[in-house]
Structure 1
Amino acid sequence: MPNGPEPRPSILTVGSDGTPNGVVDVEKVLLDAHAVALELTAASHDPNAFDAILRRLRDRVGTEALPFVLLTALRWIVLEPLNTAIEIVDNATTLKMRTSLQTAATSARKRLT
């Protein structure tokens, strides 16, 4: 039986040379990501507020955790509110938004290659 509490899940970050340069708390990433995802979604109509939220996030979580928080927030925004909105539009109209987005994504990928 180990002594003390179990360690919290964490991510070891490394620099471009492979040298460890920080540790990121996974639970904190998840909590920060969910909170900022909600803030960003609510501010989606206001670019200035959106940018202010991102600046505050950067200052609060630091550069080591920022990419993890942003990727996790992006995942949540796309899979939850955005996916729900697309389903509502597709079911309520003839727009077929998801199909249009898939076509636009294919076109964008072609431009990049």
Structure 2
Amino acid sequence: MNPDPLMMIVNEDGTPRGVVDRDRLESDSTRLMYQLAAAAGDDAETDRIACEWVERLDPDAFGYVAAGALSLMTRCILGPLLEVLDEALPHIKFRAKLAESRDHAEETLGGGR
């Protein structure tokens, strides 16, 4: 357990903007990650889950929770899945395809913003 579960969010000039309960943020991010992962492939359910979380939290809190869920999804689900794919089907070169898709998105969607 974190000894100080609260963290202060500040504006660029250092003035306080808000306080985040770190334990709640981690818990909500983990729950959102698993809810979305379990719904993968069911777009209607994915949309329902997203709408539920958007309605439940204020916009700033949702942003932090969504960013946390995305990071956790990458580390806890996508990373291990890619390891399995690399081992089981190395000829597919899925990581290279992801990198190619990333580069294409950067080029076509204006990544230099």
Return the TM-score normalized by structure 2. Answer: 0.80
Give the one of 14, 36, 39 matched to 2:35. Answer: 39
The 8 Å contact of residues 6 and 19 in structure 2, kept in 1 or not, is answered as no
* Pair 1:87–1:80, CA change in 2 (3 A): same
Question: Partner residue of 2:65?
Answer: 69
DSSP-derived class of the 1:11 partner: strand
Question: Partner residue of 2:99?
Answer: 102
1:106 positional shift:
1.5
Query: How is 1:24-63 mapped onto 2 (pairs within 5 angstroms)?
Result: 24-63=20-59
* Pair 1:59–1:11, CA change in 2 (3 A): farther
DSSP-derived class of the 1:38 partner: helix
AA matched with 1:65: A
Q: Deviations over 1:7-64 (max 9, x none)?
A: 53223365x9x87553321211110000010000000111111111111112223222
DSSP-derived class of the 2:40 partner: coil
2: CA distance, partners of 1:25 / 1:105: 33
AA matched with 1:90: D
Which residues of structure 2 form unaligned runs of 5+?
Answer: none
Question: Number of matched residues?
Answer: 107
Return the TM-score normalized by structure 1. Answer: 0.80
Query: Which structure: larger Rg?
Result: 1
